[in-house]
Every structure is written in C-alpha cells, then in structure tokens.
Amino acid sequence: ASYLAFLKQLRPADIAYVLTNLKARDRDTVFRQLFLENLTLAAVAVSEMSAQDDPLDVLDELDPEEISSLLQELPADDAAHL
C-alpha cells in the first residue's frame, strides 16, 4: 500500500502524529500494516505518542504476543513508558 511507503519515509514522531489524527478504524488498519512490515518502526512510533494520544488504543488491536514483540524492540525506559 502506498501509504506505507509514505510512512516509512517519515520520522517516528511524525508517524505518531499521523496515526493520532486518523479515525480509529483507519489508524488500526494502518498501524497493523506498519507493524507487519516494520516492527521496529511501529514500536518507535507508538513510543513517540504522548499519553494524551493514548497509545494503548493502538496496542489494544494487537494480541499479547504481538505486544510483547513490539515492546522488545524498544529500550527498557520507552517500553516502561507504555
């Protein structure tokens, strides 16, 4: 999907901004694809979300094993933040 090519060119903070400005259904679809294509980039983008952006809403769409994989991609302090 062309939106993934676009997102991969952005900094993680910008990806977080894009995700937080999508409708929930679109955000979940886009994040799922990003997660499947580039786990590290997806993890860092979620870690860039502020608490008011509620990154847990994004993580709610993942199963426990996927969340574990995502958190393992992050430094311990960033993972603890989530």
Model confidence pLDDT, tens digit, residues 42-65:
999 999 998 888 888 899 989 999
pLDDT higher than threshold 90 for residue 21: yes
Q: How confident is residue 1, by pLDDT bands cut at 50, 70 and 90? A: low
The mean pLDDT of the chain is 91
Closest CA to 39 of 4, 73, 9, 15: 73
Say if CB 35 and CB 66 are below 8 A apart.
Answer: yes
Residue with tokens 């799922």: 32
Q: What percent of the chain has pLDDT over 70?
A: 99
Nearest to 49 by CA among 14, 9, 7, 77: 14
Q: What confidence category does residue 15 fall into, taking pLDDT thresholds of 50, 70 and 90? A: very high
